[in-house]
Structure 1
Amino acid sequence: MNHNPKTLTPIHEATVLLAGTARDVAPYIASEMKHLLGALKIFKKVFVLIIESDSSDDTIEALEKLKGSISNFDYISMGKLVGKIPIRTERLAYCRNQIIQAVSENSKYSEVDFVILSDLDGLNTHLNGKSIADCWDTSVPWDVVTANQLDFYYDVWTLRHKFWSPGDCILQQINLEPILGYDQSVNLAVWARQVRLPITAGYIEVDAAFGGFAIYKKQAYIAGKYVGSAVTDGVWHEACEHVAHCGDMRKRGYRIFINSALINCKKPADQNPKKPKIFSLAVIKSIRSIGISIFGKKRFKKYLDLLAE
């Protein structure tokens, strides 16, 4: 596989698909689209595909309005998935896999060079065309490039790096708590990984990352599949869906980097917090209760939504 950066389609000649999942985003999806599309003006052509599910507000109406006002904008509503797929990360995996399927099978996306996956909850406040263009001004042979944050790198549940974050931080915290107590286990398993990456730190190669915004070469993106659960030491548990997708890409030789200069926000903030869900499985109850304790704190608002209904 040729990873020469010269094989990157020049940014002003590239066609991209901006994609994401959405639930109850009616109050801010229009402003979110305006901001994101403004940052993506540097590309030749931009398609938009949003996968919606389980909304209880006017999200469908808002998406339909955007479809009528934005060129190449489309959405797919998956309806009510909660009853069929009760675990949130598995629902996210299911919805994100619809994006992969669309890119692979829908002829209107045949001209797409890059898939840009973005959170649509107001996270990407600092994203701009200059930082995106920086990803093309490099000799680093990336197939996937992901975002960084100004205050601290927050997305350590997704992050996989041999030395920095080799495994699931939530499971590590669960296993450490009986030994070290709650505070020390959270500090060691989660907070210690959330380091500040200066924007001058360059490109950091990882095995998995997302951070709320990522750019994928199309062939890399469709080489993987999202999975929202895993089995560790014989125990089934909820898992960040990006990890499996990144793992599939890595197995096929694609390379994933965090670009420290690709800043998408100061720190994460959840505009749409939800009440925690009570799962039937004991292990998920443990993850949920720990999630409430850890992620309910200000610096973990983003993760509160990950473990919510």
Structure 2
Amino acid sequence: MPALLAALERQAIDGPLRVLVLANNCSDGTADVARKAARRIALRVEEVTLASERANAGTARSLAMNAGVEWLREDGYADAVLISTDADTVPPPHWIAASLRAIEAGCDAVGGEIRLPDAPVPDWLRLTRARVARYWSAVRRLAESIDPVPHDPWPRHGDHTGASLALTLSAYVAAGGVPPIPTGEDNALVAAVERCGGRVRHDPDVWTAVSVREDGRAAGGMATEMRRWRMIAETGASHLVPDAGHWQSVLGRRRALRVAYAADPGLAPDCVNDIAYVARIEPTLPALLVREQEIGAATATLESLVA
């Protein structure tokens, strides 16, 4: 927490920065540590105790961001920017400014890339992270060829997690806020923004460093993925990912949906644009077959297709 607050105090921005810390079910002095660590930012710390069935990432993030909305409204802001992060991140000094630039360029939400910290990390983790990043970069390059999205052009990353997610206040409210679900609340929020026609940008200049702990409390979160990577590294198991053919099918279908909407917006009069149309229709279509392949071979095929 002190490292995060120090990083926020180093943000290169003009204008007020409000930081709201929600400390839920804490017994380690988190709230007091936060209050003592803050120096040059407007800080509010809210302490809550949630019943076991509600003590999860979705409920906590929902309470935190909704409290942020109320704080902004108290101060008379009809619209502003909400940025979510986690207590174990350390964003660079340009993090907020870069997020604001992307929003000022016409986007409604901005996801930040998740990076490893500068501190020493195990070789297996850096190597695995590099392989995974290369694979997803190839997927996104293929997307640029098959289904380009004007508001989110290459170069771009693919992260929009709670560790770095900026939204306009109006986009957040229109989406209905953070769904209070046990896990995956950040992706669910972004999906809701897109169902409303919101433009989500993955600007490569927006990123934050996260911890490499493997004991995270959110099921299915980054810590879970790192435990899986460790197992693969230690056992020599194949690192399987969806193959290039799967992505060709996914991206081709998305492109077809955009073309159909452009030809006849009357297909969905309640959709404000093709973003909303794709976000609403795609989940209702039959699931596409997922064929898995070892990550190195899948990446090589994707890169060949792009070339």
TM-score of Structure 1 vs Structure 2, range by shorter chain: 0.5 to 0.7
**C-alpha displacement of 1:253:** 1.8
Contact 2:95 2:208 in 1 (8 A): no
- Counterparts of 2:94 and 2:156 in 1: how far apart (Å)? 18
**C-alpha displacement of 1:122:** 3.1
Choose from 136, 157, 160 the match for 1:195. Answer: 136
AA aligned opposite 1:57: D
Contact 2:98 2:206 in 1 (8 A): no
- Counterparts of 1:46 and 1:99 in 2: how far apart (Å)? 16
- Counterparts of 1:119 and 1:243 in 2: how far apart (Å)? 15
1:65 to 2:36 alignment: yes
Contact 1:50 1:76 in 2 (8 A): yes
Aligned residue pairs, count = 204
Change (3 A) 1:218 1:263: same
Change (3 A) 1:195 1:203: closer
AA aligned opposite 1:73: L
**C-alpha displacement of 1:144:** 0.8
Match of 2:211 in 1: 269
Match of 1:117 in 2: 84
Q: State the SS of the aligned residue for 1:222.
A: helix
Change (3 A) 1:225 1:217: closer
Greater fraction helix: 2
- Counterparts of 2:217 and 2:104 in 1: how far apart (Å)? 44
Match of 1:128 in 2: 93
Match of 1:85 in 2: 54
Q: Aligned residues: percent identity?
A: 14
Choose from 63, 72, 84 the match for 1:98. Answer: 63
AA aligned opposite 2:76: S
Map residues 154-169 of structure 1 onto 2, 5 A cutoff. none
Match of 2:238 in 1: none
- Counterparts of 2:96 and 2:107 in 1: how far apart (Å)? 15
Change (3 A) 1:256 1:193: farther
**C-alpha displacement of 1:100:** 3.6
**C-alpha displacement of 1:262:** 1.7
1:294 to 2:228 alignment: yes
Contact 2:85 2:163 in 1 (8 A): yes
After TM superposition, what 4+ stretches of structure 1 lie above 6 angstroms from structure 2?
none
Match of 2:2 in 1: 30
Match of 2:296 in 1: none
- Counterparts of 2:163 and 2:86 in 1: how far apart (Å)? 5
1:150-202 Cα offsets, whole Å, 9 max, x none, are 67xxxxxxxxxxxxxxxxxxxxxxxxxxxxxxxxxxx9xx958963589x943
- Counterparts of 1:201 and 1:76 in 2: how far apart (Å)? 39
AA aligned opposite 2:62: N
Match of 1:307 in 2: none
Bigger Rg, structure 1 or 2: 2
Choose from 145, 149, 164 the match for 1:213. Answer: 164
AA aligned opposite 2:32: E
1:193-240 Cα offsets, whole Å, 9 max, x none, are 963589x94346x7x8227212211111233332354xxxxxxxx641
Q: State the SS of the aligned residue for 1:101.
A: helix
AA aligned opposite 1:202: P
1:144 to 2:109 alignment: yes
Q: TM-score, normalising length from structure 1? A: 0.52
Change (3 A) 1:269 1:259: same
Q: State the SS of the aligned residue for 2:178.
A: coil
Contact 2:179 2:188 in 1 (8 A): yes
Structure 2 unmatched ranges of 5 or more:
117-127, 142-152, 234-307
**C-alpha displacement of 1:118:** 1.5
Change (3 A) 1:56 1:228: same
Greater fraction strand: 1
Structure 1 unmatched ranges of 5 or more:
1-28, 152-186, 230-237, 278-283, 300-309
Q: TM-score, normalising length from structure 2? A: 0.53
AA aligned opposite 2:170: Q
Indicate the RMSD between aligned Cα atoms, in angstroms. 4.3
Q: State the SS of the aligned residue for 2:62.
A: helix
Choose from 147, 167, 173 the match for 1:222. Answer: 173
**C-alpha displacement of 1:149:** 4.5
